[in-house]
Amino acid sequence: MTKSSNQRSDSESQALERVRSSFALQGLMAHLGAELADVAPGRVVIRLLFRDELTQQNGFFHAGATSAIADSAGGYAGLTLFPAGSSVLTVEYKINLLAPAQGDHLEAIGSVVRSGRTLTACQLEVFAVAGGERTLVALGQQTLICLQAKPDSR
């Protein structure tokens, strides 16, 4: 890339703003109580505080809650690298639930592994944080598609 550092910084900050706007449009994230904790090029972190409304039958976080924030974290990690005016859809993902998702909050990290013109692959990690301890509770892989010249619309 021969872009100057200022130009890169401009398009970067636009990309991060695009993620924040899109996240704010997701009714489900608000309903679950999920928050964007960090947005950087190719990497997004979403945090979800424990509530009884998020549980499965044993009182742990439900795999559906774990997956929802993992999917959004990966999708937005991809979106940070997409060209202006584009949007993102999840094609598919796979997630292994490695340990009971038990703790004060979950932290989902989506990281771009490979970003192509049409398809992007992400890794998804979800940690449960209890006191100061972090445990990897889920690990996933996701395929995204970039819809060019097709911004979010409701």
Residues found near a second copy in the complex (CB under 8 A): 22-23, 25-32, 51-59, 62-65, 67-69, 71-72, 87, 89-99, 113-114, 118-119, 121, 123, 136, 139-141, 143, 145, 152-154
Give the shortest CB-58-to-a second copy separation in angstroms.
Answer: 6
Give the shortest CB-17-to-a second copy separation in angstroms.
Answer: 14
At a CB cut-off of 8 Å and minimum separation 6, what does 119 contact?
91, 143, 144, 145, 146
**Is 120 within 8 Å of 50 (Cβ atoms)?**
no
**Is 125 within 8 Å of 139 (Cβ atoms)?**
yes
Residue among 129 and 145 whose Cβ is closer to a second copy: 145
Residue among 37 and 90 whose Cβ is closer to a second copy: 90
Give the shortest CB-95-to-a second copy separation in angstroms.
Answer: 6
Task: Report the alpha-carbon angle 39-82-136, nearest 5.
Answer: 40
Residue among 91 and 130 whose Cβ is closer to a second copy: 91
Residue among 6 and 153 whose Cβ is closer to a second copy: 153
At a CB cut-off of 8 Å and minimum separation 6, what does 112 contact?
42, 43, 77, 78, 80, 81, 120, 121, 122
Residue among 8 and 150 whose Cβ is closer to a second copy: 150
At a CB cut-off of 8 Å and minimum separation 6, what does 39 contact?
16, 19, 20, 45, 76, 80
Give the shortest CB-76-to-a second copy separation in angstroms.
Answer: 10
Give the shortest CB-132-to-a second copy separation in angstroms.
Answer: 21
* H-state helical runs in 61-104: 63-79
